[in-house]
C-alpha cells in the first residue's frame, strides 16, 4: 500500500475541509427557519406570563413547492449568513404561511424571511403595519388568500389577529396603501402578477384589520406621502385587471 506524500495529504485535508464547510452551510440554511421560529416561541412563552396560549411552533422547513428555483437558491444562500432575531412571526393558516418578520425590505432580508416596511408602525403597535415579501417565495401563497381569512402576528409585545377585509392591485408608486386605516391593520405587499416573467409591473395588496377602531392620539401615525406619477392609463389598466379577477372568481 502506497503511503501518501506530504503534498497529497495536504490536498486531501483541504478537500475534506471544503466538504465540511459546504455541509455546514447547507445544514444551517435548512435548520435556520424552524430554529428561529422555535426560539421565538420559547422566548414568547417565557415572557408572556400566560396572558395568551401560544400556538405550537411549525418545525418544518418552508414549503418550496410554489417557489421559483431562483428564489429557492437565493433563500439557501441568504440563510447561510448571520440572521438577526425576528421582530415577530407572521402566520396565515389558510394558505400555510408561517414566516419570521425581519426589519427592512432589502434583497437579503426578503430572501430569508418577510420584511417590515420602513416608516410604518413596528409589529405589535397600533396603526397600519406594512410587511413585504417576494411573490415567488414566502408570499406566493397570498394568491390564495380570501376575504375573511385570519392573519396572525406574534410579537413580544403581544399577539394580534387580523381579518382580511380588502385585496387590491395597484401600481408600485401608490404608497397610499400604507396609510392609516380606520382600524388597526396589517398590509401585506408583494409583486404582481405572481407568475410574471421578469420584473412584475404591479403590486398585490392584502389588507387585514382588527375588530377595534384605532385611537388616533395613541397611534400617532401619519400616512406616507402619496407620490406622483400614476397616469390615468395605468389606473384604468389596474381597474380592468381587478374587474377581470373578480369576474373569474364568480365563475
3-state secondary structure 70-115: HHHHHHHHHHCCCCCCCCEEEEEHHHCEEEEEEECCCHHHHHHCEE
Does 26 fall in a domain? Answer: yes
CA 95/CA 86 separation, integer angstroms: 21
134 given a catalytic annotation: yes
State residue 56's pLDDT score.
Answer: 38
Q: Looking at the domain assignment, is residue 202 inside a domain?
A: yes
Mean pLDDT of 85-104: 94
Count CB neighbours of 1 within 10 A.
2
pLDDT > 70 fraction of the chain, expressed in percent and rounded: 61
Q: Which of 49, 116, 134, 232 is catalytic?
A: 134
Please check the confidence at residue 52 and state whether its pLDDT lies above 80.
no
Grid cell for residue 92: 396565515
- Kindly report the three-state secondary structure assignment for every residue of the chain: CCCCCHHHHHHHHHHHHHHHHHHHHHHHHHHHHHHHHHHHHHHHHHHCCCCCCCCCCCCCCCCHHHCCHHHHHHHHHHHCCCCCCCCEEEEEHHHCEEEEEEECCCHHHHHHCEEECCCCCCCCCCCEEEEECCCCCCCHHHHHCCCCCEEEEEECCEEEEEEEEEEEEECCCCHHHHCCCCEEEEEEEEEECCCCCCCCCEEEEEEEEEEEECCHHHHCCCCCCCCCCCCHHHHHHHHHHHHHHHHHHHC
Alpha-carbon distance of 225 to 89, in angstroms, equals: 28
Per annotation, catalytic residue among 116, 191, 207, 232? 191
- What residues contact 167, with CB distance under 8 A and at least 6 apart? 145, 147, 204, 205, 206, 207
The reply to whether 171 falls in a domain is: yes
Flag whether 49 is in a domain: yes
- Answer yes or no: is 144 within a domain: yes
Within a domain: 109: yes
**In the structure, what pLDDT confidence band is assigned to residue 53 with cuts at 50, 70 and 90?**
very low
Residue 1 lies in a domain: no
Any idea which of 47-51, 141-145, 201-205, 247-251 has the lowest mean pLDDT? 47-51
**What is the residue-averaged pLDDT of the chain?**
76
More confident residue, 71 or 129: 129
Quick check: is 2 in a domain? no
Report the domain count for the chain.
1
CATH number at residue 68: 2.40.260.10
Picking from 1-10, 23-32, 118-127, 141-150, which range would have the lowest pLDDT averaged per residue?
Answer: 23-32
The whole-model pTM stands at: 0.66
| CA dihedral angle for residue 169, residue 99, residue 89, residue 101, rounded to 10 degrees | -70
pLDDT digits (tens, 9 = 90+) for 163-203: 999 999 999 999 999 999 989 999 999 999 999 999 999 99
> Does the annotation mark 49 as catalytic?
no
Cα dist from 94 to 91, 143, 146, 197, whole Å: 9, 11, 9, 27
Kindly report, residue by residue over 98-127, the tens digit of the pLDDT: 999 999 999 999 998 999 999 999 999 999
Residue 209 belongs to what domain range? 7-250
Amino acid at each position: 500500500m502506497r503511503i501518501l506524500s506530504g503534498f497529497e495529504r495536504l490536498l486531501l485535508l483541504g478537500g475534506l475541509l471544503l466538504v465540511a464547510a459546504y455541509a455546514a452551510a447547507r445544514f444551517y440554511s435548512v435548520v435556520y427557519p424552524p430554529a428561529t421560529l422555535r426560539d421565538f416561541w420559547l422566548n414568547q412563552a417565557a415572557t408572556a406570563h400566560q396572558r395568551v396560549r401560544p400556538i405550537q411552533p411549525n418545525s418544518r422547513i418552508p414549503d418550496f413547492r410554489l417557489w421559483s428555483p431562483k428564489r429557492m437558491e437565493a433563500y439557501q444562500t441568504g440563510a447561510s449568513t448571520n440572521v438577526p432575531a425576528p421582530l415577530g412571526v407572521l402566520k396565515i393558516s389558510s394558505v400555510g404561511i408561517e414566516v419570521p418578520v425581519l426589519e427592512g425590505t432589502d434583497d437579503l432580508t426578503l430572501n430569508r424571511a418577510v420584511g417590515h416596511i420602513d416608516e410604518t408602525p413596528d409589529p405589535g403597535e397600533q396603526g397600519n403595519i406594512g410587511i413585504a415579501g417576494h411573490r415567488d417565495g414566502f408570499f406566493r401563497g397570498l394568491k390564495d388568500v380570501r376575504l375573511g381569512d385570519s392573519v396572525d402576528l406574534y410579537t413580544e409585545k403581544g399577539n394580534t389577529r387580523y381579518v382580511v377585509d380588502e385585496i387590491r392591485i395597484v401600481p408600485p408608486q401608490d404608497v397610499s396603501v400604507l396609510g392609516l386605516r380606520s382600524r388597526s391593520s396589517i398590509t401585506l405587499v408583494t409583486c404582481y402578477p405572481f407568475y410574471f416573467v421578469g420584473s412584475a409591473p404591479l403590486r398585490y395588496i392584502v389588507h387585514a384589520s382588527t375588530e377595534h377602531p384605532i385611537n388616533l392620539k395613541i397611534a400617532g401615525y401619519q400616512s406616507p406621502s402619496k407620490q406622483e406619477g400614476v397616469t390615468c392609463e395605468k389606473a384604468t389598466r389596474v381597474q380592468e385587471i381587478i374587474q377581470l379577477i373578480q369576474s373569474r372568481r364568480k365563475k
